[in-house]
Amino acid sequence: MTTVPHEIDTPEIMVDREILARNIARMAEGVAAKGLALRPHAKTHKIPEIAELQLAAGAVGLTVATIGEAELFADRGVTDLFIAYPLWVGPRQAERLRRLAGRARIAVGTDSAEAARAMGAALGEAAGTIEVLVEIDSGHHRSGVAPAQAVEVARAAADAGLRVAGVFTFPGHSYAPGMPTEAAAQEQRALGEAARLLADAGLEITRVSGGSTPSALLTEAGTTTEVRPGVYVFGDAQQLELGRCALEDIALTVAATVVSRHEGDSVVPRRIVLDAGSKVLGGDRPAWATGFGRLMDFPDARITGLSEHHATVVFPEDAHLPALGERVRVIPNHVCVAVNLVDEVAVVTGGRVVDRWRVAARGMNR
Amino acid sequence: MTTVPHEIDTPEIMVDREILARNIARMAEGVAAKGLALRPHAKTHKIPEIAELQLAAGAVGLTVATIGEAELFADRGVTDLFIAYPLWVGPRQAERLRRLAGRARIAVGTDSAEAARAMGAALGEAAGTIEVLVEIDSGHHRSGVAPAQAVEVARAAADAGLRVAGVFTFPGHSYAPGMPTEAAAQEQRALGEAARLLADAGLEITRVSGGSTPSALLTEAGTTTEVRPGVYVFGDAQQLELGRCALEDIALTVAATVVSRHEGDSVVPRRIVLDAGSKVLGGDRPAWATGFGRLMDFPDARITGLSEHHATVVFPEDAHLPALGERVRVIPNHVCVAVNLVDEVAVVTGGRVVDRWRVAARGMNR
């Protein structure tokens, strides 16, 4: 059991270097064995040191969510970036994309003929330097078009001077109990249908991109050419409760201190309060989750309430309640939003802090 | 209707200077009329410029949640700070508190004899420079003790050399439909009982502190001496849906762009997707909320899904769907967590950006 190193003040995010390395290697090997390319989503970590480890393990490039994240990682020398987002590109975004395309291979998403035409017009002569992937809705019903509409969007993009490189989807509905296998199958079908329709229409594509952390290793090569998992580097309570990772795969925890402790009675619950709230754990709580995160060393405890600086943790009647001042490790529900709340993370190995990494792309929402 | 100023790229947080000033003045006047002191909670805004406006309007000092926030506002010249949190104080926290007490009046919370003894021991000779308020649980069942236990905690604090100044509570259960009035009454009763018991025990106290934004103006002077509302400066979708503020009181919105638009059919919902996700709005969604925030100019729209960079907004069948590329204003559910996600906010008046304020205490969780 890794305890919280003495030099840590709570709350602080800790990354276990060995588990991180193992997670990166395992996904890289699993994806390579399937004959797929790995393009990890860097919005999970926003940390150049981790991107380097992913690229060294064989990733073909990175996925990012915003132009700002692309700029940050291009600054750090990453030369192949996919902004997997249906950007609305006006003059200021176009200028930034033009500059990016001057120093890296840049692909972006689009999910409508109108957005593709606006992007082409804003980019002007630079349109041909940007690759476009049409976003397909494979069942998540967020952004993306039905496969049957992919040709219309792709044609508009091509007519606007953009280079249509392929299609992509995000199977966000894989983040629910029992869903990873079904969502992965829907993803494969939707991407396959869109790719076939584009080929039938004479649009040659080379990139068919899918794969969340729950579905990445359920993806088979064939139509799909690459996967974009993000969370796998750290794991989190969502992946744990979905059965997509084990406790020993959790590389990121939040060190927290017991600041309040109540044995409970007929009126108030038996509980402790930790100094890690939503401003370090993030507030995400899907309806199927058992709480607002999990405690690493207390599997039966449940975080029943989360305020900005308090986590209320309820214990079963017969379980040991940690002492006041005791330091524990909390597994956030959704690691991508937790990392985005801090300026740096403590890198831990053998019970000691061996480094600190800056969350260099923190807050880059634009 | 304030539109999104041209110079804003989305997503970005905008603060309306006039509405902010009106909110600050209204709370200051309302609290003063009741004969109470106002000690606004600065964790909501984390912005020194806003703290200055609150103090200029008559606030007696600020409330903060962490030692780090206290240090930041002390650096900016605030001389009366209450860390309304049951701190667990070790040697490093004690050293920071000692330094703080050298340049400002500092009060902290405690809710157990054990934590009070640990704090007194860690502070050593400096214990007498720190005021302590015992936290009372008035029905929220997070931290805090029952009024009947207040004497035991206060005695331990006094025996440990700390200056026992009073009691405080946070009526967090006022954040639910129909609850503000009842929670305010419970708060008054709990504080009143604790104060009476302390007086009976011969412990003289001068500060009885309560009041969230929903309950602050429901508080009556008498036992209570001060209130600590935070959210009132901006308002948010929670306060709106609780009926504690009106649309015209909302001073903070997130500018967002429509990046995806779908008329919908029998399979997929009629919706738009905005580029403002949980990484700028925050992920808070109480069970009673109608969604993950509200749209300022589309009262019938509901944010049914929120990812890191996408808000999925569903519209009624007969309502106008905003166009692709259109810019809208989103009201976050919980403004305190939204502000903490950005480095600065745009200050807007008359449809123009007139200033930018740094969120100077962003991320100060320790």
- Among B325, B328, B313, B320, smallest CA distance to B272 is for B313
Query: Beta strand A226-227 with A37-38: parallel, antiparallel or unpaired?
Result: parallel
Is residue B1 pLDDT above 50, yes or no?
Answer: no
* Token duo for residue B321: 């769907």
Contact list in B for residue A114 (CB cut-off 8 A) is 324-325
Name the one residue in this structure whose structure tokens are 């005695």.
Answer: B155
Is residue B259 pLDDT above 60, yes or no?
Answer: yes
Q: Answer yes or no: are the C-beta atoms of B107 and B207 closer than 8 Å.
A: yes
Beta strands in chain B (DSSP E): 12-16, 37-38, 62-64, 80-86, 105-110, 130-135, 163-168, 207-210, 226-227, 252-262, 271-274, 294-295, 302-306, 311-314, 327-331, 344-349, 352-358
Tens of pLDDT along B116-159?
999 999 999 999 999 999 999 999 999 999 999 999 999 999 99
Query: Beta strand A352-358 with A344-349: parallel, antiparallel or unpaired?
Result: antiparallel
Q: How many Cβ atoms from other residues are within 10 Å of residue B246's Cβ?
A: 10
DSSP per residue, B124-193: GGGGGGEEEEEEB-SSS-SS-B-GGGHHHHHHHHHHTT-EEEEEE---GGGSSTT-HHHHHHHHHHHHHH
Tens of pLDDT along B148-195?
999 999 999 999 999 999 999 999 888 888 888 899 999 999 999 999
pLDDT at A268: 87
CA distance linking residue A333 with residue B271, whole number of Å: 27
CA distance linking residue A357 with residue A346, whole number of Å: 7
Average pLDDT estimate for B342-354:
97
Average pLDDT estimate for B227-238:
97
* C-alpha pair distances (Å), B33 with each of A80, B27, B30: 62, 10, 5
Q: How many Cβ atoms from other residues are within 10 Å of residue A109's Cβ?
A: 25
Tens of pLDDT along B34-66?
999 999 999 999 999 999 999 999 999 999 999
Q: Could you give the percent of chain B with pLDDT greater than 70?
A: 99
- Among B11, B305, B172, smallest CA distance to A170 is for B305
Helices (H), chain A: 17-33, 48-56, 67-75, 91-101, 113-123, 150-159, 180-200, 237-241, 278-281, 335-339
Tens of pLDDT along B84-107?
999 999 999 999 999 999 999 999
DSSP annotation of B77: T
By CA distance, what is B344's nearest residue in A? A363
Contact list in A for residue B341 (CB cut-off 8 A) is 340-341, 363, 365
Separation of CA A199 from chain center:
30
pLDDT at A28: 97
In angstroms and rounded to an integer, the radius of gyration of the C-alpha atoms of chain B is: 22
In Å, how far is B33's CA from the nearest CA of chain A? 30
In Å, how far is B269's CA from the nearest CA of chain A? 7
Average pLDDT of chain B, as a whole number: 96
pLDDT at A180: 85
Q: Which residues contact A190 (CB under 8 A, 6 or more apart)?
A: A136, A137, A138, A139, A147, A169
By CA distance, what is A135's nearest residue in B? B260
In Å, how far is B35's CA from the nearest CA of chain A? 30
Q: Which domains does chain B have, with CATH numbers?
A: 34-230 (3.20.20.10), 238-358 (2.40.37.20)
In Å, the largest CA–CA distance within chain B is: 72
Low-confidence stretches of chain A (pLDDT < 70) are 1-2
Contact list in B for residue A119 (CB cut-off 8 A) is none
By CA distance, what is A325's nearest residue in B? B88
Structure ipTM:
0.97
Contact list in B for residue A143 (CB cut-off 8 A) is 259-260, 273, 310
| Total length of chain A | 366
In Å, how far is A341's CA from the nearest CA of chain B? 6
Query: Beta strand A352-358 with B226-227: parallel, antiparallel or unpaired?
Result: unpaired
Contact list in A for residue B143 (CB cut-off 8 A) is 259-260, 273, 310
Q: Answer yes or no: are the C-beta atoms of A15 and A253 closer than 8 Å.
A: no
Q: Do B142 and A310 touch (CB under 8 A)?
A: yes
pLDDT at B220: 80
